[in-house]
Structure 1
Amino acid sequence: MNNYLDNHDRYELRSGKQDDAPLCPYGNHFEWIGFDLERNEYVRFTKSVFKLLVKEKTRK
């Protein structure tokens, strides 16, 4: 959570249905997945960070 709060502009929430998005361990698409803009790779957020990002996304 601290990494996200210190650098929140570095991360964004993306649709798991994008062509380059990874699949979940069961082979399905994530509904949402995190993306690190600095490293240019998908990341998994903790539940608390994920909830914050989903709340922001649904407000827009």
Structure 2
Amino acid sequence: MKLYCVIKAIEGDSNDFEEIDVSTLPESLRRKAMRDWSKKSYVTDETLEEIYDNQFNK
């Protein structure tokens, strides 16, 4: 599973994004993302924020 995080506002005429390979995440975040996906067929905004912070705000 791969996640795509928008890094610039769509309103700003940009569609830049970062691709995140879920296998690179800590186990707890990977499980949380997979749990969201299995229950709702999408990953919640809260989980995406945690993942983004983990990957890009170190």
Shared fold, TM over 0.5: no
TM-score normalised by L of structure 2: 0.38
TM-score normalised by L of structure 1: 0.37
Higher helix share: 2
- Considering Cα pairs closer than 8 Å and 6+ residues apart, tell me whether 1 or 2 has the greater RCO: 1
Higher strand share: 1
